[in-house]
Structure 1
Amino acid sequence: MPALEIATRFDWDTFVKRYWNQRPVLFKGTQASPFTVEDVFDAAAGATQRYLSRSYAPTSRPDVTFTIDRLRQLRARPWLPQASDGSLDGYDARMASQLGDRRYALIIATLHASGFRLWSRQRAFFSGLWQRVGMPVTGGITTLFHGTYEHSPVGVHLDRFTTFLFALRGRKRMRFWRKRPWREDVSTILDYQPYLASSFVAEVEPGDILYWPSTYYHVGESAGAGVASSVNVGIPITEHRTIYSVDDLLRGMLDETSLADQEWKQTRLASVSAPPLARGVLTQDGVLDTTLPKALTEAVRAFRDVSHPKEAQRHLQATWLKRLTSGGFEPVPPPTRARRLNDAHRVRLDPNFPVVFERDGATSWLCSANGHALHGVGGGRTIEIFFRKLNSGAELRVEELLRPFKPRRAATHDSDVIAATRDGMRGLLQKLHSFRVITLST
């Protein structure tokens, strides 16, 4: 049975050299974790709002799961964290009053998409790893495990992710097997008592960081009374085929068909409104009409529009820029409401996470920051100087940034395209503020 290595100092150079994709390690009390209890609660409450706005259809693959005594609750709303709980302690108190001694598990996938502070600190932390091993093309995942459950609801399993566990509250035990301990042709098991002898464990406490490669079978267990909370960050390593990336790009070109209803109505494909039932496709003699039904012709036309070579190339370029500035964790948190900026406002951004600017033809350009992308036209060299000043990290007056641009010119045909005028660039700054790229002062 292999022994678990324990370290008391965390740095990326040592980690990559000794442990990355090699063996598990437990970092004790290093104070290196980017996650705080407060940020995790805010993100969990945000995930509840996101979950409730989406479809309850089985195919919607919700990011939130809640189990009571290992039974998944199909109507999870009463059991999820709410902003009114105030904190994880408040949420735990509500669960204790409603569930008593029954064990429960709250699992929130893609946690980083629902809390900007959490996502921002996580991005900064893992940027050190990406500099050394490369950034995952399709991004990592962030999952909250919270509750009083006896062990992980799925039992012993193998991930396609190499994983970091950040312990927040309570005590937890992770049990590992170097190789699959059972012979049955199944991928997971709940009853793993017969295989304990070949396992080894890691006991984690608040502040600890535990890492294990994707090749280790594992299960999370309760290691004491009370509630335990941890955040797992998984980085795809095995069984992640290139075709997944193609699928991501294609779905993005189609404006993401799994959007919530109110988001879907804003996309171009929402214009495909022909009824799904095609009348008169067969004649009385049983001959098939050679004319495509309206529903299919509209769908083909819409796909042709969004996959036009020039637009597809711009989409691919924007997708990569968004992926690059998301810091390896997509989807990013949604923007806040835009605020009007006046000339006296001062703006500043973090130069460690600048706005990425790229040309898109002779007069067109793209910029991206915090996982969002914008398309603009015009500006010549002035636009490059604008972003160079902004990315310096210096505090700059809005009036100073906008002075080189002409007061106004003819509007663009597309309302989503930014014209390099004073009004257009003021709008760009307002969008960057809503993306939380820049901070304001007066």
Structure 2
Amino acid sequence: MPALEITHRFDWDTFVARYWNQRPVLFKGTGASPFTAEDTFEAAASATRHYLSRSYASNSRPEITFTVDRLRQLFAREWLPQAKDGSLDGYDARLAARLGEQRYALIVSSLHSFSHLLWSRERDFFSELWRRVGLPQSGGITTLFHGTYESSPVGVHMDRFTTFLFALRGRKRMRFWARRPWREDVSTILDYQPYLKSSFVAEVEPGDILYWPSTYYHVGENTGTGVASSVNVGIPISGHPPLFSVDDLLRGMLDETSLAEQQWKQTRLARVKASPLDRGAFENKGVLSARLPRALAEAVEAFHDVSAPQEAQRHIQATWMKRLSAGGFEPVPAPARTRRLRDSQRIRVDSRFPVLFERDGARQWLCAVNGHALRGIGGGKTVETLFQRLNTGRAVSVGELIQPFRARHTATHDADIIAATRDGMRSLLEKLHTFRSITLTP
């Protein structure tokens, strides 16, 4: 049985050399964690708002799972964290009054997508790891585990992710097996009592960071001391063939059905408006018409549009730039509301996470920041200079940045082009501000 190594100092060079994808390690009370209970609660409450706005359809994929005594609650509204709870402590108190001694588990996946503050601190923390081992092309996953559950609802299992556990509140025990302890042809088990002797455990408490490679079977356990909260970050290591990346690129062009309604209306595929019902399809005595139904014809036309070589190249280019600027954690938080920027306002960009920019095949600029991309930016060297000035990290006024550009621009029929004018560049800066790349300074 392997022994768990425990250390009180965290640094990335030592971690990569001794532990990365090799063996579990527990970092005790290092203060290195990027997560706080306050930020985590705000992200969880935001996830609740998003969850309640989604469909309850059986084929939907909600980011929140809630169980009571291992039974998943299909309608979980009353059990989820809400802003009025004020904190995780307030949330726990509300549930305790309702559930008494019943054990519960709250699991929130894609937690980073619901809070820019939490996401940005997480990206900052892991950027040092990516510099040493490389950026995960499919991105890491961030999951909140919270509750009084006796053991993980899914039981003993092995992930395709190498995992960091950041303990926030309470005490938790993680139990590990270096190899699968059972012989049955199943991927998980709930009753693992017969296999305890071959396991080893890690006891974690607030401030600890626990790491284990993807090759270890594991299960989380409650130590019996009340509510425990942790954030797990999984990084794909095995079982992720290159085909997944191709599928991901195609989905970005074609499968936009998971977008919110307002986002969907802004896509080019939204122009497929024909009814899916085809009158007269069964009236030709088995002889098919030479013409496709209108809905299929429009879909084929839209597919042809987005998959044309030049358009596909732009899409792939923008997708890669978004992924780089997302820092390994997608989906990223939604943009903020647009705010008018005045000439006198001074702005700056964090030089550690600059605006990525380059030319596309049409000799226009595209840029990406914080996991968002803008395409079709017109202009030449002056636009490049604007990006370079932003990326120095020094504060500069909006008026000074846009002054080199023309005051007006000849009318164009292409509404998707951001013109290289003062108004166009102000609009560009306002977009970067909604992406939270630009901050206002005194």
Normalized against structure 1, the TM-score is what?
0.97
Amino acid in structure 2 at the alignment position of 1:423: D
Residue 245 of structure 1 is matched in structure 2 by 245
Residue 328 of structure 2 is matched in structure 1 by 328
Residue 143 of structure 2 is matched in structure 1 by 143
Q: How far apart are the structure 1 equivalents of 2:284 and 2:210?
A: 70
Q: How far apart are the structure 2 equivalents of 1:49 and 1:416?
A: 32
269-278 or 176-185, which moves further after superposition? Answer: 269-278
Does the 8 A contact of 1:148 with 1:227 survive in 2? yes
Amino acid in structure 1 at the alignment position of 2:31: Q
Does the 8 A contact of 2:364 with 2:379 survive in 1? no
Give the 3 Å change call, closer, same or farther, for CA 148–415 of structure 1 in structure 2.
Answer: farther
Residue 267 of structure 2 is matched in structure 1 by 267
427-436 or 407-416, which moves further after superposition? Answer: 407-416
Does the 8 A contact of 1:4 with 1:202 survive in 2? yes
C-alpha distance after superposition, 1:13-33 (max 9, x if no partner) = 000000001000000010000
Residue 231 of structure 1 is matched in structure 2 by 231
Residue 129 of structure 1 is matched in structure 2 by 129
Amino acid in structure 2 at the alignment position of 1:392: T
Give the 3 Å change call, closer, same or farther, for CA 420–168 of structure 1 in structure 2.
Answer: same
Residue 117 of structure 1 is matched in structure 2 by 117
79-88 or 403-412, which moves further after superposition? Answer: 403-412
Give the 3 Å change call, closer, same or farther, for CA 376–288 of structure 1 in structure 2.
Answer: closer
Residue 420 of structure 1 is matched in structure 2 by 420
Does the 8 A contact of 2:310 with 2:361 survive in 1? no
274-283 or 149-158, which moves further after superposition? Answer: 274-283
Amino acid in structure 1 at the alignment position of 2:391: N
Query: Which aligned pairs between 1:163-312 and structure 2 lie closer than 5 A?
Result: 163-254=163-254, 256-312=256-312
1:376 aligns with 2:376: yes
C-alpha distance after superposition, 1:337-356 (max 9, x if no partner) = 11111110000111000001
Does the 8 A contact of 1:60 with 1:258 survive in 2? no
Gaps of 5+ in 1: none
Does the 8 A contact of 2:378 with 2:417 survive in 1? no
Query: Which aligned pairs between 1:43-82 and structure 2 lie closer than 5 A?
Result: 43-82=43-82
Residue 7 of structure 1 is matched in structure 2 by 7
Q: How far apart are the structure 2 equivalents of 1:365 and 1:255?
A: 25
Residue 30 of structure 1 is matched in structure 2 by 30
Amino acid in structure 2 at the alignment position of 1:102: Q
Does the 8 A contact of 1:306 with 1:312 survive in 2? yes
Q: How far apart are the structure 2 equivalents of 1:417 and 1:124?
A: 32
Query: Once the 2 structures are TM-superposed, how far is the Cα of residue 227 of structure 1 from its aligned partner?
Result: 0.7
Q: How far apart are the structure 2 equivalents of 1:84 and 1:416?
A: 41
SS at match of 2:59: helix
The count of aligned residue pairs is 442
Amino acid in structure 1 at the alignment position of 2:77: R
Q: How far apart are the structure 2 equivalents of 1:368 and 1:60?
A: 29
Gaps of 5+ in 2: none
Give the 3 Å change call, closer, same or farther, for CA 292–209 of structure 1 in structure 2.
Answer: same
227-236 or 72-81, which moves further after superposition? Answer: 72-81
Q: How far apart are the structure 2 equivalents of 1:176 and 1:131?
A: 29
Does the 8 A contact of 1:283 with 1:289 survive in 2? no
Does the 8 A contact of 2:171 with 2:203 survive in 1? yes
213-222 or 426-435, which moves further after superposition? Answer: 426-435
1:20 aligns with 2:20: yes
Query: Once the 2 structures are TM-superposed, how far is the Cα of residue 270 of structure 1 from its aligned partner?
Result: 2.3
Residue 431 of structure 2 is matched in structure 1 by 431
Query: Once the 2 structures are TM-superposed, how far is the Cα of residue 412 of structure 1 from its aligned partner?
Result: 4.5
Residue 394 of structure 1 is matched in structure 2 by 394
Query: Once the 2 structures are TM-superposed, how far is the Cα of residue 255 of structure 1 from its aligned partner?
Result: 5.6
53-62 or 299-308, which moves further after superposition? Answer: 53-62
C-alpha distance after superposition, 1:198-229 (max 9, x if no partner) = 00000000000000000000000001321100
SS at match of 1:158: coil
Q: How far apart are the structure 2 equivalents of 1:419 and 1:312?
A: 23
Query: Once the 2 structures are TM-superposed, how far is the Cα of residue 155 of structure 1 from its aligned partner?
Result: 0.2
Give the 3 Å change call, closer, same or farther, for CA 411–71 of structure 1 in structure 2.
Answer: farther
Aligned-residue CA RMSD in angstroms?
1.3
Query: Once the 2 structures are TM-superposed, how far is the Cα of residue 373 of structure 1 from its aligned partner?
Result: 0.6
Between the two proteins, what is the percent identity of the paired residues?
73
SS at match of 1:58: coil
421-430 or 373-382, which moves further after superposition? Answer: 373-382
Q: How far apart are the structure 2 equivalents of 1:24 and 1:31?
A: 19
SS at match of 2:373: strand
Query: Once the 2 structures are TM-superposed, how far is the Cα of residue 311 of structure 1 from its aligned partner?
Result: 1.4
C-alpha distance after superposition, 1:235-282 (max 9, x if no partner) = 000101111111111111126221233432332222222222323234
Q: How far apart are the structure 2 equivalents of 1:166 and 1:313?
A: 39
C-alpha distance after superposition, 1:123-175 (max 9, x if no partner) = 00000000000000010000000011101000000100000000000000000
Query: Once the 2 structures are TM-superposed, how far is the Cα of residue 379 of structure 1 from its aligned partner?
Result: 2.3
Q: How far apart are the structure 2 equivalents of 1:298 and 1:362?
A: 26
C-alpha distance after superposition, 1:274-294 (max 9, x if no partner) = 222323234453323332111
Amino acid in structure 2 at the alignment position of 1:119: W
Does the 8 A contact of 1:255 with 1:268 survive in 2? no
Does the 8 A contact of 1:8 with 1:30 survive in 2? yes
Does the 8 A contact of 2:176 with 2:217 survive in 1? yes
Normalized against structure 2, the TM-score is what?
0.97
Q: How far apart are the structure 2 equivalents of 1:31 and 1:299?
A: 53
Q: How far apart are the structure 2 equivalents of 1:148 and 1:242?
A: 39
